[in-house]
Structure 1
Amino acid sequence: MFTSTLAYRSPTRTTTTCASLFQELQKLWDEIGECESERDQMLVQLEQECLDIYRRRVEQSRKHKADLHKALLDAEAEAAYLISALGDLTSFSRVKGTLKEQTRAINLVLEKLRIKKQERVKQFSDVLSSISVISVEISGASPSKNRGDPLGNANDLTLKKLEELRAHLQELQAEKNLRLQKVNSYLNSIHELCAVMSIDVNQKVSDVHPSLVCTPKSFSNDTLAKLLGTIQSLKQEKESRLQKIKDLAGALVKLWNLLETPLDEQKRFDHVISLVPFSVHEVFGQGVLSSSAVNQAEIEVERLNVLRSRKLKELVMSKLNQLEEIYKGVHMEVDSDMARQIFINLDSGNIDLSDLLSGMDDEIQKAKEQAFSRADILEKVEKWRHASQEENWLDEYERDGNRYSAGRGAHKSLKRAEKARVLVGKLPALVENLIAKVKVWELEKGIPFLYNKASLLHMLEEYIVQQQQKEEEKRKSREQKRIQEQRATEREALFGSKPAIKKPLGQSTAANSMTGTPNGHRVAPPSARHGVSSGKERKDSGRAGTVIPYNYVALSKDDDTAPRDTNNTCGMRLKF
């Protein structure tokens, strides 16, 4: 039974395989000794398992068929929707064949419709976006950042709908062009009015809307209304200024007649007088009614109404300031008594102001000549002051015991110290030359050379005295140090040397810290004074192990009357 079932459900090759397997199974059962009942039970079980496998495969095939059928129906529905939405005249019918063939056929149609929809959606989106932008520009509302897709979920993507939107867009573009023409017309009027009154047109226009000073320009309802209001206010301002100019022109004519003002001076305000016969609509020209023109006319009227001495007093003040600047530049002081007397004379009115101005011009010319004659000396004074500052810095630097330490900026200080020593070395010649030039200048001019109210020659002499005192203090310090070292050497010769104190590496002596020179340049180290001149001698001394008597000394070969060697200040050494 099992064999026949397999043969019925399987191809010939499978039947042969199953028959051979069944024969092998029968043979195995014979060898094992299985009974007939057990054999029948196993065959029934095998047949049931085969049926279960076939049943699962049938269910899977049915589900796959249902899925294909559903996909086919969905594709047909989507295709029908797209054809309807696009208004396309394309029609399709289900082809004959298997489900897979029908699905492939409808998918090809659907893919073409989807591509066509994307292109149509893009066209709609572009048109709707342009419509939205122009509508926002006309209304003046702020564009929404989260406006989303302008097309939304529209189901009508037909060409008819697209043409309607394009027609609406053309209407909006035409209105936009009309509004822009109106904006440009308003802007031209504003430019003309601002030009007449010299008003900053960019500031005026940007107050209406910032975009009006560049492109693209705003043409909203609010912008047009503000532009029209600005034009009205500018026209009123123009009329007000013209009336003010006419009033000032009348006042000027009266004052000129009263004060007998020369015609040349009156010509400066011909542009004001010429506006009297014109109406507000007849006045054009750049800056004719500018605020500066109005202010100039007002100032002129005020000037003609005040005392003439006030103007001359301002001229005198200007001359005094000029004189003060000249003197200040060459470190001189203006004569305060002269300035005070000038103010007293101006207030009293008991002086001829023209003579005063002429005298001040002479003083300014003299000040310029004197400044020119002092230029060479002042240049050398600045060099002297700079060198003196560097000298003071160098003194402080050489008193610093840690100046040779490898700290941050030490190399810069060393370079500056080198330059400072060069400058300090040139100081004596510079001061001497400066003193000679000052004396020649004073001899030629017959007056002392003052620098900020002090005699420069006296300052230089004081500097020389201070330098001499400083050198004397240094000499005394060196002499005192030499005497102390000589006494210490004599005590060592009489009583023996003290044990040498081993110093840490890098520690400098007090002498080196004071003079700013490395060890061994001027004063011999304690080990040299005590006679321990090398490591070998210390080793030999330790091996001897004997106590050196206090009276075992040897005098130096150098005679006491001989000159002292600057590199060896020890006149006496101990010998072991």
Structure 2
Amino acid sequence: MVVEETDLSLKRLEELHRQLLEYQDEKRNRLKLIMDHMSMLNSLCLVLGMDFKHTIHEIHPTLDDLNGEKDVANSTIEGLANSVQILREVKIQRWQRLQTFASALLEMWNLMDTTMEEQKKYQNLTSRIAASESEITEPNILSVDLLNDSHKVTEILSAAKYSNEAIESGAVDPACLLEQIELQIARAKEEALSRKEILEKIEKWLAACQEESWLEEYNRDDNRYTAGRGTHITLKRAEKVRVLANKIPGMVETLTSKATAWEKERGLEFLVGHIHMV
């Protein structure tokens, strides 16, 4: 908007003041939307055991400055919205996996007459088995470590169930069975560790895809080179994302290769939230 020096009549000044108020309202609305998205992202990161500051910094560096002015561009708002959507989907998938685990755990406890003392460690999960995704707010309850731990526990309990049945029927020697259980536990630990590596690569790939989406939106912005606060930071981010986007095919190839090798080695499908990853 260009203000002519000769056009400073009262009517013109009132018009400029009105436009200024409109711009201020627009900025406030955008900032409120950004803060709402950040609040949701913080909650999701907390539940998923993810680094919130790193997540928002990757969207735009100004977002993790608590006292600084936030970038309110469309690309930043859309980046936050996309992150919320992606992490919410991750949360739903992980919760479905833990619900399956909790159901199996309750069944095992019932079959094995497990004491209440032994059940306490996982009561925070089993007591919430019927909860909806929105009701799951506890910190780290859907972290990668907990998912791996639950997978390991399921394997161990399966071995324990088999042990009880076998001993009661007299079908196997207890000493031999104990050795088998120890092997099963070791295998479960190794499998959990191998899944963790692939799951971490999946999260990096999803984050890279999110950044690529931001870059596509940024490239469509005709005003991206307009001088303003934070423009140089955004330009640096765009350059960084271009480099990252070029790595996505390699990330996919590595991820597919590792998941395929994992499946061949174990004769199982590598599933994430009931989704086959290969």
Question: What is the deviation of 1:303?
Answer: 2.9
Change (3 A) 1:312 1:247: closer
Superposition TM-score, scaled by structure 2 size: 0.51
- For residues 423-463 of structure 1, the C-alpha deviation after alignment (integer angstroms, 9 at most, x for no partner) is xxxxxxxxxxxxxxxxxxxxxxxxxxxxxxxxxxxxxxxxx
> Per the alignment, do residues 155 and 216 of structure 1 end up closer, same or farther by CA in structure 2, a change over 3 Å counting?
closer
Measured in 1, the distance between the counterparts of 2:15 and 2:31 equals 24
Supply the distance in 2 between the matched residues of 1:226 and 1:309 (Cα, whole angstroms).
47
Cα distance change, pair 180–221 in 1 and its aligned pair in 2 (3 A) = same
Q: Does residue 187 of the first structure (1) align with residue 60 of the second (2)?
A: no
Q: Which runs of 5+ in 2 are unaligned?
A: 160-179, 187-278
User: Of residues 92, 100, 106 in structure 2, which corresponds to 1:247?
Assistant: 100
CA RMSD of aligned residues (A): 2.9
Residue in structure 2 matched with residue 276 of structure 1 by the alignment: 129
Partner of 2:154: 301
Count of residues paired in the alignment: 164
* Superposition deviation, residue 299 in structure 1: 1.7
CA displacement at 1:312 relative to structure 2: 9.3
User: Quick one: structure 1 residues 248 and 224, their matched pair in 2 at CA, closer, same or farther if it must change by over 3 Å?
Assistant: same
Verify the 8 A CA contact 1:197 1:290 in the aligned structure 2: yes
Deviation at 1:295, TM superposition (A): 2.1
Aligned-partner residue type, residue 273 of structure 1: T
Conserved? CA contact 2:59–2:79, under 8 Å: yes
SS in 1 for 2:142: coil
User: What amino acid maps onto 1:158 in structure 2?
Assistant: L
CA displacement at 1:243 relative to structure 2: 0.8
**Amino acid corresponding to residue 16 of structure 2 in structure 1:** L
In structure 1, list runs of 5 or more residues that go unmatched. 1-127, 129-149, 314-576
Aligned equivalents of 2:183, 2:113: Cα separation in 1: 18
Inter-partner Cα distance in structure 1 for 2:8 and 2:133? 60
Q: Structure 1 length normalisation: TM-score?
A: 0.26
Aligned counterpart in structure 1 of residue 26 of structure 2, from 148, 151, 175: 175
Q: Distance in 1 between matches of 2:6 and 2:15?
A: 12
1:157, CA displacement in angstroms? 5.5
Name the structure, 1 or 2, with higher relative contact order (CA <8 Å, separation 6+).
2
Structure 1 range deviating more: 240-249 or 187-196: 187-196
Percent pairwise identity = 28
- CA distance in 1 between counterparts of 2:181 and 2:112 reads 11
Supply the distance in 1 between the matched residues of 2:116 and 2:14 (Cα, whole angstroms). 76
**How far 1:248 sits from its partner (Å)?**
0.8
Q: Equivalences for 1:272-421 in 2 at 5 Å?
A: 272-305=125-158, 307-310=180-183
Deviation string, structure 1 residues 21-59 (Cα, Å, up to 9, x no partner): xxxxxxxxxxxxxxxxxxxxxxxxxxxxxxxxxxxxxxx
Residue 262 of structure 1: how far off its partner (Å)? 4.5
User: Is the CA contact (8 Å cut-off) linking 1:269 and 1:297 kept in structure 2?
Assistant: no
Deviation, 1:285, is 2.5
Aligned mates of 1:283, 1:312 — CA distance in 2:
29
Deviation readout 1:539-560 (Å, 9 max, x if unpaired): xxxxxxxxxxxxxxxxxxxxxx
Letter in 2 for 1:281: S
Whether contact under 8 Å (2:49, 2:140) holds in the other structure is: yes
Q: How far did residue 264 of structure 1 move?
A: 2.6
Query: Alpha carbons of 1:309 and 1:230: their partners in 2 closer, same or farther (altered >3 Å)?
Result: closer
What is residue 87 of structure 2 aligned with on the other side?
234
| TM-fit CA distance, 1:205 | 1.5
Q: Are 1:242 and 1:289, in contact at CA under 8 Å, matched by a contact in 2?
A: yes
Deviation at 1:216, TM superposition (A): 0.9
Q: 2:53 aligns with which of 195, 199, 202?
A: 202
Q: Using a 3 Å threshold, how does the CA distance of structure 1 residues 282 and 155 change in structure 2: closer, same or farther? A: closer
